[in-house]
Amino acid sequence: MDDIGIREFYEKIGANPPASAQVEDRTFRGKQTHAFETVGSFVDVLKSCLMRLEKNVLKVVECSKHAPVGLPNATKARPDVVIYQKDYLQNAKDKLFWGSIEMAVEFHSAGNTPTKRSEQAASYVSYLLRARPDLVTALGLLIEVDGLVFFFCNANGIKKLSLSNADDYLPLLSAIVKYINEGQTNNIDKTLSRVPSTVLYNVSVPNRVPNESSPLNPTEYKSCSLRYSRDPFGCRPNIFIYKPENDMSAVRVIKDQYIRKDSRWVEKNILAKIHKNGVYPAVVRMCFYGEITQARCGDRIRVRICLQDYGTPFLSLKTPRDVIYALYDLLEGKLTRGLYLDRQILHRDISPWNIMIRDSDYTQSIGTYSPTSPVFIRHLLDPGVPKHESSIFLIDFGYSQDLESSRDGLAGTPMFIARAVQAGKPLPPSRDMCFPELPPLSERIERAYKSNYPKRMELFKEKLGAQTEPWEADRELGIFQHKLEHDGESGVWSSFWWALLAFPDQAENVPINASIWTELMPTFNTPGTEFPEHDNRTKVLYSLFLGDENVFHPGYGDLLGLFQDIAEAIMSDYHWAEPGVRRLSDYVHEILQRIILNFIVKNMDEPFMDLKKADKNRTVQRRGSTLYLSISESSKRKTQETLPNPTPPKHAISGGNEPSDSDTADEDTQRIEKKARIGDV
């Protein structure tokens, strides 16, 4: 937190400071006297300020018993006092909603140090900024023992002003109340308007259309729900869902965020390139985009993008067949061969919350005009199904990379990020590493695969023996770069996560092995580090490779054979593979897709393929205690795109450590935060 002067604070709220206002801040010093003896005495002063207003629309309330609710990424924080507009209070069960609050106030507590009290008050301001996306800047207040601390918070951070002289803080308090009562017009985004008596927003989207030179008139989407709001600082992303009744095709996901004035708007540029020559069916579609000039914040500008398509999160898939088909399509058309080979684009943030599942009826209604449209799994198995038809699509291209313009930086979501990307270098070579041979396709699927991909079959026709030693293990590593195979590995970890948590409906909830769980969870030993320091996931792959029957629930034990072959294929880093076919950019995808196709053909009619999973997740067993892991899709790191995770219909949104006795699988997942390299956003 940086300090701010009293005159500058007045300027921030568009008010003129009184002549008596000090140029420099007043710090607390001298004899300790109480600025306000009780919360009630401070509330009385606030009410006195309200009575002097010409037309008061505000109300003050003490939060003595109930914490405000309704904050995206829920919190139980409870300010001591809040100011809210009367028209925006939602009275359901006498609960106060964060979206109704105009300013939160913390009263000093003898049990906390001044630093702790300041941090607590600042946290309330940051919560308010997340709950009120229409506020470019949020204000907060700490009532200290001998004065007042005012907070001014926006995407650039938090500034504070400490005053101990009543002649300074009382006039400023009165000016702030007047400023809030008049609608905070100096620091409001007028393209976002709250719907009275609800927590919904009317959202205006600048109608700049891809491939069109001039923008159209803005479109307003009414009664949108705020589905996701993350860190209020930096890019400060928000995701809204517009969902009219009985019309899935009209659903829209609206994302906004801040970017530096001179920075590239990555997601907009990537999506425009992907769909430039026609609809690319495996990727969320962009309707409109534009800059919100009314919401500038210093050297940051707010940008907004409206996305089409609607779906549910990857983890909502119900059967092994659904998951295996989705993994194949993910490898085929989205994150790789389609996007990489045809568009020179890497997604770089494949996770369960960036893979969305379309409704089957809606999938069939989406046409495609791309001459390079990928061929998905259902067409390979049944030529009567259109080539482009897939139940999945990718969202959240904010960390994507256009290889024709940039090859710098690393990004990803811990636990799903490729191990080499997390390490920032190739995995270390070892004498027992092994690169398996490319498996031949079974006769039942080979003909269909060859007819759709004759060039691919020709490229990979060479029969390779297994390589059991690293090639030139002592050579220079060079500059590490994110590759196609890394996106493939992220897809594998996403599918493994589903298989690990799932157990059949009506079956016993057999706990997850504690060692497997612990080895999966990322650990950050150093504050501020971008990726976890320790990564034990290779041990998980080794357990799969050895055929450990304790990894999956017994009801889904037949999945072990699939993941056993996959583990063997990706356990070693192909940086150490011999020059030739294994070093081709899409070799790892080829071997993974062949493994999947062979497994599907072999198990096409097996009952376990269509065995539906329970709505709950498996528990985790640790040292005699069982931890229950329930997954609430609405609590994930991201929102659902296509519409739009850490969670909601996901159009554009979507989420650690050894579990404690109160942890759930969901809670651990929520702690998995995306860590981006500087300059990626």
* pLDDT per position as a tens digit, 164-191: 999 999 999 999 999 999 999 889 999 9
User: Is 336 within a domain?
Assistant: no
pTM of the model as a whole: 0.82
- What CATH number corresponds to the domain at position 64? 3.90.1570
Residue 79 lies in a domain: yes
Rounded to an integer, the average pLDDT of 471-493 is 91
Report if residue 481 sits inside a domain.
no
Secondary structure percentages of the chain, helix, strand, coil, to 5: 30, 20, 50
Cα 660 to Cα 302: distance, rounded to the nearest angstrom? 39
Q: What percent of the chain has pLDDT over 70?
A: 82
The tens digit of pLDDT for each residue in 382-430 reads: 999 888 778 889 999 888 888 888 766 788 888 999 999 999 999 998 8
Residue 53 · residue 181 · CB < 8 Å: yes
Task: Please tell me the distance from the alpha carbon of residue 204 to that of residue 219, in angstroms, as a whole number.
Answer: 6
C-beta separation of 655 from 634 below 8 A: no
Please write the tens of the pLDDT for every residue from 497-518: 999 999 999 999 999 999 999 9
Cα(390)–Cα(363) distance, integer angstroms: 7
- pLDDT for 654: 30
List beta partners, residue 291.
303
- Greater model confidence, 622 or 505: 505
Count of structural domains, the chain: 1
Q: Is the distance from CB of 482 to CB of 410 less than 8 angstroms?
A: yes
CB contact at 8 A, 168 and 161: no
Inform me whether the pLDDT recorded for 141 exceeds 80.
Answer: yes
pLDDT at 632: 36
pLDDT tens, position by position, 25-69: 444 444 445 678 888 999 999 999 999 988 998 989 888 777 787
Q: Which amino acid is at 261?
A: K
Residue with tokens 């702790």: 116
Cα–Cα dist 491/599, whole Å: 17
E-strand spans in 31-123? Answer: 58-62, 81-85, 101-107
Using the predicted structure, report yes or no on whether residue 586 has a pLDDT greater than 80.
Answer: yes
Question: Is 543 within a domain?
Answer: no
Burial of 539 (0-12, 13-18, 19+ CB in 10 A): middle
The residues, any chain, with a CB within 8 Å of residue 634's CB and separated by 6 or more, are 227, 647, 648
Query: Does residue 475 fall inside a structural domain?
Result: no
Burial classification of residue 508, based on how many CB atoms lie within 10 Å of its CB (0-12 exposed, 13-18 middle, 19 or more buried): exposed
Domain carrying residue 30? 2-187
Compute the average pLDDT of residues 333-356. 81
542 closest CA partner among 515, 564, 575, 513: 564
- Cα–Cα distance for residue pair 668/531, rounded to 1 Å: 16
Sign of the four-CA dihedral 473, 478, 484, 489: positive
Q: 3-class DSSP state for residue 200?
A: strand
252 vs 288: CA distance, rounded Å: 10
Please determine, for residue 659, whether its predicted confidence score (pLDDT) is greater than 50: no
> Do residues 317 and 338 lie in contact, with contact meaning Cβ atoms separated by under 8 Å?
no
Look up residue 441 and give its DSSP letter: P
DSSP codes, 225-238: EEEEE--SSTT--E
How many residues are given for the chain? 681
Q: Which helix H or strand E contains 111, and what residues bound it?
A: none
Predicted local confidence at residue 143, as pLDDT:
93
CA atoms of 412 and 418, how far apart (whole Å): 8
Task: Give per-residue pLDDT as tens, 291-300.
Answer: 898 899 989 9
Residue 625: pLDDT over 70: no
Residue 350 has pLDDT above 90, yes or no: yes
Asked if 450 and 460 count as a contact pair (C-beta separation under 8 A), the reply is no
On the question of pLDDT at 9 being above 90, the answer is yes
The amino acid at 253: V
**pLDDT per residue over 278-313, tens digit each?**
888 788 988 888 889 889 998 999 999 999 887 889
Instruction: Report how far residue 156's alpha carbon sits from residue 326's, in angstroms, rounded to the nearest whole number.
Output: 40
Contact 218, 202 (CB under 8 A): no
Report the alpha-carbon distance of residue 311 to residue 318 in Å, rounded. Answer: 14
Average pLDDT, the chain: 82
pLDDT, tens only, 85-107:
887 765 555 677 888 899 999 99
pLDDT of residue 92: 52
Confirm if 638 and 671 have CB atoms less than 8 A apart: no
Domain assignment present for 107: yes
Residue 613: helix, strand or coil by DSSP? strand
pLDDT digits (tens, 9 = 90+) for 540-550: 999 999 999 99
Indicate the range of 17-31, 240-254, 386-400, 647-661 predicted with least confidence. 647-661
Exposure string of 406-427, with b = 16+ CB inside 10 Å and e = fewer, is eeebbbbbbbbbbbbbbbeebb
Q: Considering the domain boundaries, does residue 174 fall inside one?
A: yes
Residue 498 counted as domain residue: no
Per-residue model confidence (pLDDT) at position 648 = 30
